[in-house]
Amino acid sequence: MEAWFALLVSIFFTVAVYLLLSKSIIRVLLGVAILGNAVNLLIFTGGRLTRGVPPVVPGHQDALTGPAANALPQALILTAIVISFSFFAFLLVLAWRAYEVLQTDNTDEMRVAEPKDEPAPPLGY
Amino acid sequence: MAASTSPHADLSAALVLEPAASADWLVILPVAWCLAIGALLVMLRRKIDWHPYIAVLGLAGLVLIDILLLRHVLASGPVTMVMGRWLPPFGIAFTVDLTGALFALTASVVALAGGIYSLADINDSGRRYGFYPFLMLLMAGVSGAFLTGDIFNLYVWFEVLLISSFGLIVLGSEREQIDGAVKYGFLNLVATTLFLITTGYLYASFGTLNMADIARKAEGLAGTAPLMTLTALFVLAFGMKAAAFPVNFWLPASYHTPRVVVSALFAGLLTKVGIYALIRVTVMLLPLQREELSFVIALAGALTMLVGAFGALAQSDFRRMLGYLVVSGIGSILAGIAVGGPGGIGGAIFYALHSMLVMTALYFASGVAAKLGGSFSLSSLAGLYRRHAGFAALTLMLAFAVSGLPPFSGFWPKVMLVKAALDIGAWWLAAALLFTGFLTTVVTGRFFLLAYWRDAAAGEGTTVSATISPAALLPLTVLVILALAIGLYPEPLLSTIQSAAASLAEPSAYLNSVFPGGAP
């Protein structure tokens, strides 16, 4: 099962990178959303996949008897989901503001902070 | 062992039972203090007149806490505190060694200077928007990143400081700022996501997130775990945070757009957090892999230096020029990390601390120059020397410091780095360091010539204000005095840095502090 998940994660990463390389901010945003999910799936897979085996130590024992999924990566993902969600929300608003203010969502035309033909510094005085 | 079923289980196997010594609370205090002050400021959002004073007092308190923390670490070695009393590696550990304490102290000094400068730079609308709560939360993130001993926790602090920096960079919402913030936001998010990916792989191969535990296990896992992949990914992620070539382009695209004090704080704090994380991970956790990657890091360092210096040479805007100088400084630090050894790592740490103070001060100087001359552009700034000779002297000292000329703070780390590079036979790296120093001298010399010595009549600059606000001059002066003091009397700082670098390369004291009883 891990192998299939690894394949799925790699597809997620491929799509995310493809979208991130786009010039249009809205596609980049979609790329960011998929990238966040790709990472979450990656960590999830890294913590072992078992079905229907709760990692609970029975009362009369000191350790787990069989293999079970590690619960810690799932806790890490929970943190990562919250963070990536809030970042996505911020970037969504920022992209909208950028579209409103700069009248474009093409990154090639976003040259306000770095104007295209700025004069060279003075050569003498 | 039936202990787990009895009500009197042996808690000492899993928990820290004796209460922490009161001095140990200093480990967590910087973060808790910043979060508390930040929360207080949010609660007082209707009393914006109080904000600056509370924040400046809070930051002064932070400097005091960090001084006490550094003294404590100097006296008794690395200090560890675990959250929720769980013994490491299960509990999240905060472990402070000399490197972390030095970085945290310098960061708090920079933040205090920024807090004072903001009195002259942040107006009522900035206060209402929440500049000061963001500043305190930023400092919580920065302090947490310097003090934590857990790699996932480091990621969380990165995110805390990143989200606060988003709030700061768009403060004002001008066209330029939105443009810069888009590039800053997306590329930094990708960098921290790369860091998270690497952390996921790291946990999957090590089964632990505690830095001391990782450092202990790294050698044993060298044959089976993909440690080179991990190290390469860490170098890329932290290199992107630190703005190393070829992933540096977000920095000069965004650092000149926000308020001057925000640029100054970013230049002093954010890239250096990336550098600190890189030093921590490559030098302490994965030293063998760092040696194998050292050529790549050295090449990236040399190119970063040169790209930064040439970029600065091509700018006609004061603040954009400074953005490239920040990048150039990152290159010198990378060179030190690549060379390794006490000289290289010590030089890298020293250069990072010097760069935090001096780059912040230079951004302050750009703000003051723009207030006096009415512009950031080198073609219209002129006659600043005639207008305020004292300020011109301060800027000149900073120009010397950033170029690495004696007797200022930039000189000693540069000497250490060049010597360390020559010692291992990397003459090209030493040449790149010296050539960058020369180019930086040209950059700062030209800009001093144009903006300060040129007669005002030749330029079109108009005087906006004839005097400098004391709130702007005070932090600038203090930072310049610090740079001069470090340059004139480097011995105490130098010896502290040397022992910090030594304990990074040989982290037995760090490990002992996390696992006092040896292996659990």
**Residue of A80, A95, A122 lying closest to B196 (CB–CB):** A80
Share of chain B above pLDDT 90, in %: 73
Q: How far is A121 from chain B (nearest CA, A)?
A: 4
CB-based contact B38:B136 (threshold 8 Å): yes
Ranges of residues in chain B whose predicted pLDDT is under 50: 1-6, 458-461
Q: Write out chain B residues lying below 8 Å of A121, CB-based.
A: 314-316, 378-379, 446, 450
CB-based contact A20:A99 (threshold 8 Å): no
Domain boundaries, chain B: 22-514
Other beta carbons within 10 Å of B159:
21
pLDDT for B461: 47
Domain boundaries, chain A: 2-51+69-109
Count of all residues that appear for chain B in the document: 520
pLDDT for B3: 45
CB-based contact A16:A35 (threshold 8 Å): yes
Other beta carbons within 10 Å of B67:
14
For chain A positions 15-74, those within 8 Å of chain B (CB to CB) are 20, 25, 28, 32, 35-36, 39, 42-43, 46-47, 57, 59-62, 72-73
A88 confidence band (pLDDT: 50, 70, 90): very high
Q: If you write DSSP's letter for every residue of B325-379 in order, what string do you get? A: HHHHHHHHHHHHHHH-HHHHHHHHHHHHHHHHHHHHHHHHHHHHHHHHHS-SBTT
pTM, whole model, 2 decimals? Answer: 0.94
**Residue of A60, A94, A125 lying closest to B181 (CB–CB):** A94
Residue of A nearest to B176 (CA): A113
Contact A113 B179 (CB under 8 A): yes
Q: Which of B203, B101, B205, B113 is nearest to B155 (CA)?
A: B203
Report the alpha-carbon distance of residue B260 to residue B123 in Å, rounded: 12
Could you tell me where the DSSP H helices lie in B148-210? 151-169, 175-206
Report the alpha-carbon distance of residue B304 to residue A96 in Å, rounded: 33
Torsion, Cα B265 B266 B271 B273, to 10 degrees, reads 60
Q: Write out chain B residues lying below 8 Å of A111, CB-based.
A: 179
Q: What is the DSSP letter of A70?
A: -
Residue A101 near chain B (CB below 8 Å): yes
The mean of the pLDDT values for chain A is 89
pLDDT for B520: 53
Residue of B nearest to A47 (CA): B204
How large is the average pLDDT for residues A109-114?
A: 85
Q: Which residues pair with B94 in a beta bridge?
A: B81, B148
Contact B176 A94 (CB under 8 A): no
pLDDT for B448: 92
Burial of B23 (0-12, 13-18, 19+ CB in 10 A): middle
For A2-51+69-109, CATH number out of 3.30.70.2740, 1.10.287.3510, 2.60.40.2250, 3.40.50.2300 equals: 1.10.287.3510
Q: Write out chain A residues lying below 8 Å of B179, CB-based.
A: 98, 102, 110-113
